[in-house]
Chain A
Amino acid sequence: MTGARALSNVLTTRACAILVSVGLGAGAAALFLQFGAADGYQMVDGVRAALVFVTTFWLAWGAMQAIAGLIASCQAPEPLRSPITTRTAILMPVYNEDPGVVFARVAAMDDGIALLGLTDHFDFAILSDTQDDKLGAEEEDWFVHLWDDRAQEARTSIGLRPQFFYRRRHKNTGRKAGNIQDFFERSGANYDFALILDADSLMEGSTIAELVRRMQAEPKLGLLQTLPRVTGAQSRFGRAMQFAAGFYSPVFAQGQAAMQGVAGPFWGHNALIRVRAFAESCALPELSGPAPFGGHILSHDYVEAALLARAGWSVRVDPDLGGSFEEGPENMIDFAKRDRRWCQGNLQHVRVISAPGLKPWSRFVFFQGILSYIAPLFWMMFLASNLYATATAPETDFFPEPFQLFPVFPSDQTSKAVGVAVGVFGLLVFPKVLILVDAALRGRVIQFGGTWIALRGMVLELVMSSINAPIMLMWQTRAVSQVLMGRDGGWPAQTRGDGRLTLREAFSAGWWIQIWGVAVIAVTHLFAANLMLWVLPISVPLVIAPLVIWATSLPSRPPVFLTPEEFSVPSVIADHHRIMGQWAHAQAPINAPSARLTA
């Protein structure tokens, strides 16, 4: 496809998606206004209609991404066969992680690359920001283990450079972005490309090689992002998310790719970057003022993608690339903790959105990120405004004119509100149904255990996410409020493990949500009893929040939520398990505990 044609396609897709989303939002708002103003127009009716517009637009925008993805999805291109002529650093940033498990991932990826005979083109650099000295010492012990396991002594003894590097910063200035920048400022000139990973990332050797070949083939490509598949989940919550990410995300990502064109995303890891492009255009400044809006940029990846695009480099996501993996949170509490960090990072983009020279689409991406965290507030306001409108609705006046002989019955506009509710539900479910149909037609559904098992997973995930959504809404609302009040959430290390919670832990995380649930039911009962049926699907999950948090953290087993990686374990994941098993049984490094290394 020529550049002009590709640009025209991107612009058409964007225009259609925005027009349809705005149209659906406006239609829903108009219907709701007719319903609300049936007993006479009040200010609150206008507010409700505006809130319906924003929330419906947001849902429609998500649905349009799925539809664009279904339209744009095509056969994955053949892998490139060109020789690799460049040098790539594979960067594994580490921050208070279990070093044995993380270094086993490095070894597994090295095995994948070695199998292709490409070892000479790749180096691994473990970039530690671990602030705990005891854990830091453990990392060094495990690095010695990795060094021996990868026979580096044999290389250095004959004068060859090692292929594994380790560096620990005693002060994690600039967090992950600062960690990566520190690497480029010390060693960047040695490499053409850098593959940026997270501590829980795994990538197949063939995927890494394909990324490099695609980057070599396009000199203007500054960043190539893969779509990492979530793997290794063991809990109900984790496996439901893993299923949803595996089943729906490729289509949504395809839709994003179709809309973003060359101003694509960077999700912070599992992406290849061109060192020169990144070094020349991505050194982030500290924002003026204190956190949460000032200081270091938390969600640096979106900003780096925007800066690359500003400098004229292409940033692209290739969802067709398989063999890219990450892990996800195992329970709702860990999800909420991560979301708190992302919330602060996205809201901080208010300070970045007006940066000079950014492409309009990059600004829109920042706007989307901000809206995704503010949208729950609109839902809360919508709920509150409906309770208020119902509580303050005027008494029905059957004889509005003096000396009127016959009563005038107010026109019943309830069907319009029901229509909006059905439409909103449709926007949530319809894309998922379309994706299921598409997966069945293309045969992708076989990797998920067949149509019926996939359908069962889809329905269960829908039920689970409907129950979880009001609880998440409360956490998101709290997160946004905290950020707006100037509270910095810091940078907590990620929690790994099976994520199983006790009822006590679930209660201590969710008791305040219960109180809100009871309050919503009480207020509805007192002031707007006829709305009770509408409010119960939101308030009941709130009242039983600790139970939901606990129950969703319990273990889950296939076939429900079966994913392709469970159906057939990818070689890099199998290698990771094998290496962890070997390391656990071999003599552990002299100072390091080996208890956590179980395959």
Chain B
Amino acid sequence: MDAQMTIKNAAVFTAEKTDFDGRKAAIMRDAALPDAPFAMPRQLIEVSRPSVADTLLDWVRGFGLMARGR
């Protein structure tokens, strides 16, 4: 008898849960964020500054070019 009731209760619970999950899915669809995009351009924060080594390399290259008369 108890076992039958437990099985019945479990069945009722499973059915309720299935109903709830179905309804939840429908609500989640209705509650999805509205589709109205606003573009957000990425802001400039870091300016690429040449390192000391890069500056030195550029200077050497420039000197080389000048020395070769280009």
**A187 touches which of B16, B28, B37 (Cβ 8 Å):** B37
CA distance A590 to B45 in the complex (A): 48
Assess the A189–B37 pair: CB atoms within 8 A.
yes
Q: Which residue of B lies closest to A164 (CB)?
A: B31
Assess the B38–A275 pair: CB atoms within 8 A.
yes
Q: Is A351 an interface residue when CB atoms closer than 8 A count as contact?
A: yes
Q: Which residue of B lies closest to A147 (CB)?
A: B27
A307 contacts which chain B residues (CB < 8 A)? 43
**B40 touches which of A162, A166, A279, A589 (Cβ 8 Å):** A279
Assess the A187–B17 pair: CB atoms within 8 A.
no
Assess the B42–A186 pair: CB atoms within 8 A.
no
CA distance A183 to B37 in the complex (A): 8
Q: Is A280 an interface residue when CB atoms closer than 8 A count as contact?
A: yes
Q: Is B32 an interface residue when CB atoms closer than 8 A count as contact?
A: yes
Q: Is A86 an interface residue when CB atoms closer than 8 A count as contact?
A: no
Q: Is B69 an interface residue when CB atoms closer than 8 A count as contact?
A: no
Known contacts A141-B24, A285-B43, A355-B44; is-contact A188 B36 (Cβ 8 Å): yes
Q: What is the distance, in angstroms, from B2's C-beta to the closest C-beta of chain A?
A: 24
CA distance A181 to B39 in the complex (A): 10
Residues in A399-439 with C-beta less than 8 Å from chain B: none
Assess the B36–A189 pair: CB atoms within 8 A.
yes
A187 contacts which chain B residues (CB < 8 A)? 33-38
Q: Is B23 an interface residue when CB atoms closer than 8 A count as contact?
A: yes
Interface of B is mostly: loop
A282 contacts which chain B residues (CB < 8 A)? 40, 43
Q: What is the distance, in angstroms, from B5's C-beta to the closest C-beta of chain A?
A: 20
Assess the B33–A183 pair: CB atoms within 8 A.
yes
Assess the B39–A279 pair: CB atoms within 8 A.
yes
B39 contacts which chain A residues (CB < 8 A)? 185, 279
B3 contacts which chain A residues (CB < 8 A)? none
A143 contacts which chain B residues (CB < 8 A)? 27-28, 31
Assess the A186–B37 pair: CB atoms within 8 A.
yes
Assess the B35–A186 pair: CB atoms within 8 A.
yes
Assess the B41–A287 pair: CB atoms within 8 A.
no
Q: Is A352 an interface residue when CB atoms closer than 8 A count as contact?
A: yes
CA distance A279 to B38 in the complex (A): 7
**B46 touches which of A164, A183, A351 (Cβ 8 Å):** A351
Known contacts A165-B31, A165-B32, A590-B16; is-contact A284 B37 (Cβ 8 Å): no
Assess the B31–A591 pair: CB atoms within 8 A.
no
Q: How large is the interface on B (under 10, 10 to 19, 20 to 34, 35 or more residues)?
A: 20 to 34
Q: Is A497 an interface residue when CB atoms closer than 8 A count as contact?
A: no
Q: Is B65 an interface residue when CB atoms closer than 8 A count as contact?
A: no
Assess the B17–A283 pair: CB atoms within 8 A.
no
Q: Is B30 an interface residue when CB atoms closer than 8 A count as contact?
A: yes
CA distance A414 to B19 in the complex (A): 81
Assess the A356–B47 pair: CB atoms within 8 A.
yes
Most chain B beta carbons < 10 A, residue from A282, A352, A590, A591? A590
Residues in A140-156 with C-beta less than 8 Å from chain B: 140-141, 143-144, 147, 152, 156
**A285 touches which of B24, B28, B42 (Cβ 8 Å):** B42
Q: Is B63 an interface residue when CB atoms closer than 8 A count as contact?
A: no
Interface of A is mostly: helix
**A284 touches which of B27, B34, B45 (Cβ 8 Å):** B45
A281 contacts which chain B residues (CB < 8 A)? 43
Assess the B32–A167 pair: CB atoms within 8 A.
yes
Q: Which residue of B lies closest to A357 (CB)?
A: B44
Q: Is B20 an interface residue when CB atoms closer than 8 A count as contact?
A: yes
CA distance A186 to B34 in the complex (A): 7
Assess the B17–A161 pair: CB atoms within 8 A.
no
B24 contacts which chain A residues (CB < 8 A)? 140-141, 144
Q: Which residue of A lies closest to B40 (CB)?
A: A283
CA distance A156 to B41 in the complex (A): 34
When each residue 180-200 of chain A gets 1 if its CB lies under 8 Å from chain B and 0 otherwise, what string results?
A: 010111111110000000000
**B28 touches which of A140, A161, A283 (Cβ 8 Å):** A140
CA distance A537 to B36 in the complex (A): 59
When each residue 51-66 of chain B gets 1 if its CB lies under 8 Å from chain A and 0 otherwise, what string results?
A: 0000000000000000
Q: Is A125 an interface residue when CB atoms closer than 8 A count as contact?
A: yes
A188 contacts which chain B residues (CB < 8 A)? 36-38, 40
Assess the B30–A162 pair: CB atoms within 8 A.
yes
CA distance A342 to B36 in the complex (A): 33
Assess the B20–A590 pair: CB atoms within 8 A.
yes
Assess the B46–A185 pair: CB atoms within 8 A.
no
Q: Is A288 an interface residue when CB atoms closer than 8 A count as contact?
A: yes
A144 contacts which chain B residues (CB < 8 A)? 20, 23-24, 27
Assess the B43–A283 pair: CB atoms within 8 A.
yes
Assess the B45–A166 pair: CB atoms within 8 A.
no
CA distance A190 to B36 in the complex (A): 6
CA distance A387 to B13 in the complex (A): 72
CA distance A265 to B1 in the complex (A): 69
**A355 touches which of B31, B40, B46 (Cβ 8 Å):** B46
Going nearest first, the 6 A-B pairs with the smallest beta carbon separation are A188-B38, A283-B40, A189-B36, A190-B36, A355-B45, A590-B20
With A144-B23, A147-B31, A187-B36 known, 5 other A-B pairs at CB within 8 A are A186-B37, A275-B38, A279-B38, A285-B42, A285-B44
Contacts from A to B (Cβ < 8 Å): 125, 140-141, 143-144, 147, 152, 156, 161-162, 164-167, 181, 183-190, 275-276, 279-285, 287-288, 303, 307, 351-352, 354-356, 589-591
Contacts from B to A (Cβ < 8 Å): 16-17, 20, 23-24, 27-28, 30-47
Query: What are 14 inter-chain pairs, A to B, with CB distance below 8 A?
Result: A144-B27, A152-B30, A162-B31, A167-B32, A181-B40, A185-B39, A186-B35, A188-B38, A189-B36, A276-B38, A284-B43, A590-B17, A590-B20, A591-B17
